Every structure is written in structure tokens, then in C-alpha cells.
Amino acid sequence: MRLIAPSAASTPETFDLVFVSQAIDERGSRSLEIARNSANHVVEVDYDPETFHLKLGDAAFRASDLDSIRQAFPGAMILLDATSLDPVEMLILSRAFLYNAEDRRRLGFVYAEPAHYKPATVAIGMDYAFTFADKFRGLKSVPGFANELRDDEGGRLVACLGFEADRLDRILQDDDGNFIKHVTLIFGVPPYRTTWEMHALLPHERVISKHRSCELAFAGANNPKATYECLKESFQAIGQGERLIIAPLGSKPSSIGIALFACCRDNIRLKYDFPVKLEGRTEGVGAIHRYLVDRR
């Protein structure tokens, strides 16, 4: 993990390719500027959860066709603009470039924190309500992470959480909720800014008190490795007849951690509700990070 200077034009490294999506706020535009300046070629990304197709530039690929994606985009250094890409897009691309242990790639991520989040309502104390999506497409399967739980199989859910408690409710009320035997909720602590953790903890208080099998875990909001380690602990705790279920609902760095953990493992189930992002949901630009990993 490395901080990028606020005035920097690019990352310290030059990448062969960068994968980007659309900016919806000021920090997104700044992240895109850095990402585009850091690579020799820029590829626009758009995943359709209805058709399971991933559009990469002018070409469309089935999300399960990792070999075709890998072969279509050669290059030893690959950059993902985590600010604009959604968690599923990062997961599919991470799987395409890191799953094959013989195909040595280095994968980088650039991410810009916001200076402020805009609350949807004004409240007393820390109990604000935040709305970051115009709507949700709903829980949909993702190739490679869609194997159904068997009737005799229990789920161990690990969810990284943000400020919107209804997203976790949506997962627990889904059919899989009947099979979930244990829940680990990962909160971004330390947060980007002091007190921001309360915007996540308070809305989820009801869910935490309702589910006796729920345990809390904490990983720095801008620390993918800390999220990775939390997932590793949960994975090691899986008993016979259990399956790990992951839900990337928190900060983008936590979604990077989830992508890096899940992309090289099989038999993990993903739960994601595909929000349609609301433009202008943040203000300003905070710290800008570059993360760099490879398959070992």
C-alpha cells in the first residue's frame, strides 16, 4: 500500500493496461485521471448482471471465460481503477489475471477516498442516513461464485459493511438466509475519518442484536490486507458441511481485499445486490492509494 501525492499525475509505476469505468464524483474523476496517465492502454469496463457478460472496450466476454479475457489482454502490469469499478468487476478481472498461477501478472489498484460523504437526511448525533444508490438491481449470481448451497450445507457469511444497513438485510432475508449458520460482520475500523465508523455501526445495531451467531471483526477501511486476513480466519474456521459466503458491501479497499482472497479460490459463494450508483454522493478528494500485488 502506498499513498500517492495529491498533486501526482500518475502512479509511481507504468502499467501495460488500465481497466476503468465511469466517474460519478470529484474523487472518481481524480482517480480516473491518475489511472489513465499510468498505463499505455485504457480499457473501459461494464458488467451486465442480467446476461453475465463483461464488456471490455469494444469486446464482450462471458464472465466465466477467464482464458479469453486473459489472452485478449496480455501485459505483465495490470492496473484497476478501484474508485470507478464495482466490486464484481474487480473480482472478475482479478480472477482472470491471477487465477492461473503459471501466468505471472502484477495487479495494481488505485483508489481515491472522498473528503466527505453526503448524508441523505440530517439527524441528531452520529445517526445519519446515507443513500449511495439510485436503485438496486437485486441479488444476482456471478459465474464462478454461484454454486447453490446444498440442503445439508450451512453457510458462513462474511460481509464487509458500509453505511447502508438495508443491504445486509436484503442478504439475510434471501433464500440463503435460511442456511446461514454464522455471520461475521467486518467494519472499517480505523475509518477514513474519525467517527465515520459510527455511521456504519449504528445502522447495523438491530441486525447485530437480532442474530446470536453474529460476530464483529474490524479491518482498516483503507487496508485490503486487513480484510484479506479476516476472510482467511473465517475460511480456516469453516467446518464440515459449511461454505463461505462473501458480501462486499463496504469500502472499496475492503472489496479489493475480498477480490484478492476469493479470486484464486473455488467453492466460494458471492452475494451482491448490484446498486446503480447515485451521482454526486461524495464531496472532495481525500487520500489517494496505490496497491500492488502478484500471485505467489
pTM of the model: 0.94
Give the pLDDT of residue 225: 97
Domains, the chain: 2-116+282-294 (no CATH), 133-277 (3.40.50)
- pLDDT digits 0-9 by tens, 209-228: 877 778 999 999 999 999 99
Residue pLDDT, tens place only, 28-73:
999 999 999 999 999 999 999 999 999 999 999 999 999 999 999 9
pLDDT band at 127 (very low <50, low <70, confident <90, very high): low
Average pLDDT of the chain to the nearest whole number: 91
Average pLDDT in the 140-168 region? 88
Taking alpha carbons only, the member of 270, 254, 271 closest to residue 262 is 270
Mean pLDDT of 118-146: 75
Predicted local confidence at residue 239, as pLDDT = 85
- Band (pLDDT 50/70/90 cuts) for residue 6 is confident
Residue in the structure block whose three cell numbers are 454454486 = 147
Cα–Cα distance measured from residue 276 to residue 199, given in angstroms and rounded to the nearest whole number: 21
Report how far residue 51's alpha carbon sits from residue 63's, in angstroms, rounded to the nearest whole number. 9
> Is residue 125's pLDDT more than 60?
no
Query: Per-residue pLDDT for 119 more than 80?
Result: no
pLDDT attached to residue 124? 47
How does residue 190 score in pLDDT terms, banded at 50, 70 and 90? very high
State the pLDDT at residue 235: 95
pLDDT at 128 over 70: no
pLDDT digits (tens, 9 = 90+) for 172-187: 888 666 788 899 999 9
- In angstroms and rounded to an integer, the radius of gyration of the C-alpha atoms of the chain is 18
